[in-house]
Structure formats: structure tokens, C-alpha cells
A and B are shown apart, each in its own frame.
Chain A
């Protein structure tokens, strides 16, 4: 408890500006609703009801939180080591597809064998796909930002081709529009709340989140990663294996994204479809950026984002306000946080200058 109060004290200004930014972003969202002819109070009410209204929708909110939290952590793992993995979306698609096909091909096998293999395939698929841009960056100095974005589109198009209409992995089930075969029922994660998306994936996610936090904050590898991310040269002269660290952090990031894809399918979607993710990774990235790549902060913030995201789609259904308002609110929070950082920096600089002038003036006298 003492530790928590201490850390709150340390980050007091940050927390205050975060709360102000969120409030302001919600107000801006309300103004946008008002301008476009909707009642903001009613809409926000619908949003809250959509996220907390029943056990079922709350389960969906928690499921969304898992996705955001894991993708946010995936971004954090590599950002700490100084790499930006913008390609999580593609890694998510490939991981999801690999895990799904593993499940489909192992139909009839024991879940004790099939499920771990599915995990493994998701990790390998996501990790390998992140390994390519990582190696290009570390060995050849090719900007990973562009390559990961490009590889996103490639993965999404290829997966879409594979599972749609005449693709080689498309299902032959009748009455199903697009998608792969369904994962056998024995392999799917158990539902925790009936009819909601919430499954035992939340436990696996908790383990992953804990591991991420533990490795980054409590082990020497985490520290080495941080050193590499903050000052690559220093890491080099300190004799750290910086190339290895960078590549492995990127692979870990891709592996987490691959697992997110698997959880989507095994948790509630049953089969792999090209609609498996609607730019989930980008939202997770925003969460990570807002929280300054702090793992604990990301877990808390992803819950808030999940409430807005799930609530917004329910709001769209009941009041007609476009659910995309959630994206606008997220982006505005980032802009405000960025602005706050700049303004407070400028103020401290001015104060410092004033102080220097004062002391200098005294000395002259």
C-alpha cells in the first residue's frame, strides 16, 4: 500500500493532467455529438449502459480490455528497447490464422496436446513476422516503422485471400459467409459468462501481462532493454548485446500480438475471419503511448478504453451516434497529453530562466 501511495505521489502531475485530458476529451466528444444533433448526456448514458448494463456486456468489456492491454504491452515491450512495432495488426492476423488452422487440423486429438500446439503456432507465426522487420532494422538499418506498416497490409490481404470464398483455407460449412473452418469445440476456451465474449483467455492474458511486467521491471534483461532503448550507444559501450535485445524484444512483441489473434478466435469468434480485428492493435498502441509505456498504467487505461469502445458501439445501436466517436476521443486524449507535456516543459524552463536571472542579478549587486 505504501508503495502505491508513493508512486502516486511521484506521478502526481502526470495523473492530474491525465484526468484533465480525459475529461476535456469527453467534453469535446460531447460537443461533437451536440453539434451533429444528438443529446450528449443521453449518448454517454447509453455508452455506460452499453459497457456495464448487464453481466453479458460487462463480459464483452473485459474481453476488449484484454485485447487492448495485450496489444498495448506488445507495443511497450519493443518500445522499451527502442523499436516501434506498428505491425501488430498483421502479426495478430497471422497468429490467429496459424492457431486456428492448428486447431482445425488436429481435430480429434486431445486438447492437452492441441491447445499448447495452437499457442505455440500463434507465438511462432506472430514472432517470425515481427522478426523480419527487426532483423532489417538491426542489421541493415531499415526503418522498422515503414516496414511493419507495409507488412501489415501484406498479412491482412494474404489472410483475406486464404479464408475467403475460393481461398484454399476457406470453410465448406453451409451458411457461413467467409472464414476458415471452426475450431473444434473441445479446444475452445470455456465461457465465463454465458452469451458474452468473456472466456478463460482472461487468465492466460493475466499471466502474459504479469510476465511482461515482471521481465521489464524486475529482471536484468528488462533493465538492459531499457538502457538499449534510451541510449543505444551507451548500451554498446557497456557491452550489452543490443542487437540481440532489440530483435528479441520485437519477436516477443510479435508473439504477444499473435496470441491476441489466437484469443480472439479461441475465445469467442470460433473461426478465423478477415474481420478478426478492426485495427485493435492501433488502439492498444494509443493506450501504451498515453501511459508512457508503463505496464501497470496500461492495464488500468485499457479498461477505460474498453468501456468507451464497447460502450460506443452499443451507443451507436441505441442512439445512432457513430461509434467512431471513441477513436476521436482517444486521439484527443493523446493530443492533450502531448500538449500538456510541452506546456509544462516550457513553464519549467521559463521558471528556471527567471531563477537564473534573479541569482545573477543578486551576484552583480
Chain B
């Protein structure tokens, strides 16, 4: 019984916020491309490059903000690169996404080795971490105080970005066009707006979000870069986009749930479950959640068509 408190405590919630943040950020990018009708499985590579660039420039310029800035700029470039193939040249999204992941994996290790002369992991006291936020008045509140204090500033920025993403998609004309580019490109064209331009914008936005995600991954808590440190987070983010049906608040919740499960895995280690087994928790959960969501939406759809049929027959 005492074990339960070793697993379920305030640390679990703190870890949830930490592990969920990069996934939330990447998922916000992924939902942009998803809304624009692009299957983007190259997010893992985008995150990886962002993480590397953030560490490299934070170290070189001794400034975390420059690291983040360059990571985001790189994200824009990758987004343009991705769009060049997928939108302009109409290449297979699956192939380009996979190639982007391989390319990112190869490039980051190659540069790690060539620039810093290390293999595997680069960590140095010269890398500046993202600032942590501490609000004094929160100290006096139990549970919420320790939960919300001393997080990396990105945790809060992420929440704002989720809101902005929703605002953009559902409350601005541009966001409306973006969604139309995925759902009904022909009608968008009839309205005089080029759907390809919207797709380009979506993939650039995705690059920006993934750049943020990478920067948070490597500068948020651990100030280091490790080979393949994105660790399939891009794919998990992609899964979150599908759970949340590409709707920012829903995707946010899905990513939080993933973060909770990931953190639960970490906590289980403290009770003596081997770390290799606990690491499987988020991946298994992703598969199960995906199955559940797909099946339940399918059932809803069937119900709807059945109802429509019944109504139609009644009318007849």
C-alpha cells in the first residue's frame, strides 16, 4: 500500500508537465499539417534538428534565447524544405517524411562528431538552459504551488501557443482557409485562394513548432544533446494529433495524457520495475488509445448514417 504513494505523488504531476511539453509543441505543429491535408511523419526529424541546433547555438553564443531563435529559424527552413517536396513537387509524403527522419538522424550525429568531436552525447556546462519561472505567491498554495513553480518558461509558453493555435485555426480567415485546404481544396480554389499556399504555410508552422519542441527537449531540463534524443516523440505527437482529431484543445489533452503515462513509467522505476519495461508504457498506451479513438469515431459515424437513413425513410 505504501508503494502507491511512491508512484502517485506530486512528482508524477511535475513529470507529466515536463514530458508532455515537447509532445504538445510538436503535436500543435502536426495538427497544422494534418488540417491542411498533409500526412506529416517527418516531425521526429524536425524535432531532432531543432534540439541539436538549440544546443549548438546556446553553447556557442552562451545564450538560450539565441539557441531557441536559431532552432525556430531552422524549423522554418525545414518546413519550407518539406513543403517544396510535398506541396510543390507532389512527392509521396510518407517517403519524404521517412527520408527526413533518416536525414536528421544522420546529420545531427555527423555534426555532433565533426563540430564537438564527441559521439553519443554532448553535454557541457557552457550550454545555457532555458530560464525557470518562480512565482513567490504560488509558494503558499499546496499542490498547485510546487506543480506550477520552477518549470521551464516553455511550459507556460506552450499553453499560450495552444490557445493561439486554436484562435488561429477557428477564429481567423487564414485558419479557415488552412482547414479548407485539407478538407475541400477545390472549393478553396474557387474562392480564389491557392490551397498550395495554405499547405506551405501549414508546413512552415509545423517546422516552427517542432523547432520549439526540439529546443525544449535539449535546453528545457537536461541541457544536452543525445543521439536520436527525439526518441519517437514526433510519432507520438502524430498519434496525439489523430486522437485529438487535429483540434488544439483536444490534442493538448491527448498529449497531456501521454505525458502522464510516460511519467507514470518513470515513477514505476522507483518501485523496482525495470526501466526497460516502464519505457514501453507510453508506446503501448499510444497503440491502445489509437485503437479506441478510431473504433469509437467509426461507431459514431455509423450511428449517424443510420439515423439519417431512418429519417430519410420516415420522410419518404
Contacts and interface: CB of A to CB of B under 8 A. Distances in A.
Q: Do A and B come from one complex?
A: yes
A231 interface: no
A136 B291 CA distance: 8
B102 A286 contact: yes
B114 A36 contact: yes
Contacts, number: 140
A98 to B, nearest CB: 18
Interface in A314-344: 321-322, 324-328, 330-332, 334-335, 338-339, 341-343
A342 B90 CA distance: 6
B238 interface: yes
Given A146-B286, A328-B110, A157 B277 contact: yes
B290 A343 contact: no
Contacts of A161: 274, 276-277
Given A140-B298, A161-B277, A331-B99, A146 B290 contact: yes
Interface stretch (A5-13, A147-155, A208-216): A147-155
A339 B115 CA distance: 30
A2 interface: no
A143 B96 CA distance: 18
A339 B90 CA distance: 9
Given A157-B280, A335-B99, A143 B85 contact: no
Contacts of B298: 140-141
A158 B103 CA distance: 27
A199 B94 CA distance: 35
A149 B232 contact: yes
Nearest to B275: A161
Consensus secondary structure, chain A interface = helix
Contact of A142 (B90, B98, B294): B294
A58 interface: no
A166 B101 CA distance: 33
A234 to B, nearest CB: 20
Interface string B134-174: 00000000000000000000000000000000000000000
Interface string A73-103: 0000000000010100000000000000000
Contact of A153 (B41, B89, B280): B280
Contacts of A282: 98, 101-102
A195 interface: no
Sort chain A's interface into a size bin: 35 or more
B277 A158 contact: yes
Contacts of A141: 294, 298
A342 B96 CA distance: 12
Nearest to B294: A142
A166 B277 CA distance: 13
B283 A143 contact: no
Interface string A277-309: 001001101100100000000000000000000
B109 A151 contact: no
B91 interface: yes
B235 interface: yes
Interface string A29-52: 000100011000000000000000
19 contacts: A36-B111, A84-B94, A140-B298, A142-B294, A146-B242, A146-B286, A153-B279, A157-B279, A157-B280, A167-B274, A282-B98, A286-B98, A289-B98, A328-B110, A331-B103, A338-B89, A338-B91, A341-B91, A346-B89
9 A-B pairs with the lowest CB-CB distances in the bound complex, closest first: A342-B89, A327-B106, A331-B103, A161-B276, A322-B113, A36-B114, A338-B91, A334-B99, A324-B109
Interface of A: 32, 36-37, 84, 86, 136, 140-143, 145-147, 149-154, 157-158, 160-161, 164, 166-167, 279, 282-283, 285-286, 289, 321-322, 324-328, 330-332, 334-335, 338-339, 341-343, 345-346
